[in-house]
Amino acid sequence: MTKIVSILALATVAAFTGVASFAQDVPPHCSSATIEGYYAFRVSGEVFTAAGVVNRDGIALTHFYGNHLLTQVDYVLANGVPVAGPTDANGFHDMETGTYSVNEDCTGEAEIDFPTPPGGTSGAVIKLFFVISDDGRQLNTIVTSLTPPNSTQAVPANIHSDAVRVHNGPR
């Protein structure tokens, strides 16, 4: 009888271990709606130009609309000096728009298009990859391409950002 109880106990433990392993193996499932809402970003890195390395440091508030569209305001310093561009009443750069896509595995990519500066021919364009974590409450990004204003050629950059969701859904 003791042997039968031991075998049943072992079988029960094995069954639950299999269920726990299965539960851990379920891949994440994300969509563009996963990151719908507002995210506060902390941005830092370097841009490598012909004139030398430009250190970037900044903050951004990005609104992901859940339908592959985004808008953003930011405040960025280049070597400690505020970056030029149109600002809102609070001093943040505004009129930044873009698109994004989210893969089922919670990775994605985005493009942020900046307004054309006065007298310029084109605005800056930043392309980035991101990873969604903590059920959509956090984003981590890395810039994959940075095209400066008035240019068609991307420049090397080493810029990353981390963000947390500050508000869900439309506002």
pLDDT, one tens digit per residue, over 76-132 is 999 999 998 889 999 999 999 999 999 999 999 999 999 998 899 999 999 999 999
- CA–CA separation, 44 vs 42, rounded Å? 7
| Per-residue pLDDT at 91 | 95
Number of domains present in the structure of the chain: 1
When the pLDDT of each residue in the chain is averaged and rounded to a whole number, the result is: 88
More confident of the two residues 20 and 106: 106
Say what the pTM is: 0.81
Residue 130 sits in a domain of what CATH number?
Answer: 2.40.128.120
The average pLDDT across 12-28 equals 54
- CA–CA separation, 104 vs 28, rounded Å? 7
- Tokens (6 digits) for 132: 């969604």
The answer on pLDDT for 26 being more than 90 is: no
Note whether residue 160 is domain-resident.
yes
| Per-residue pLDDT at 84 | 87
Note whether residue 120 is domain-resident.
yes
Which one-letter amino acid corresponds to residue 64? F
Phi, psi at residue 21, to the nearest 5°?
-65, -40
State whether residue 28 is helix, strand or coil: coil
pLDDT > 90 fraction of the chain, expressed in percent and rounded: 75
The average pLDDT across 3-32 equals 58
DSSP 146: E
Note whether residue 76 is domain-resident.
yes
Domain enclosing residue 59, as ranges: 32-168
Note whether residue 68 is domain-resident.
yes
| Per-residue pLDDT at 37 | 96
Note whether residue 129 is domain-resident.
yes
In sequence order, what are the beta bridge partners of 64?
Answer: 37, 70
Note whether residue 18 is domain-resident.
no
Note whether residue 5 is domain-resident.
no
Give CA separation, 36 vs 51, 70, 130, 170, in Å. Answer: 39, 9, 14, 8
Note whether residue 159 is domain-resident.
yes
164 Cβ neighbours under 8 A, 6+ residues apart: 39, 40, 137, 138
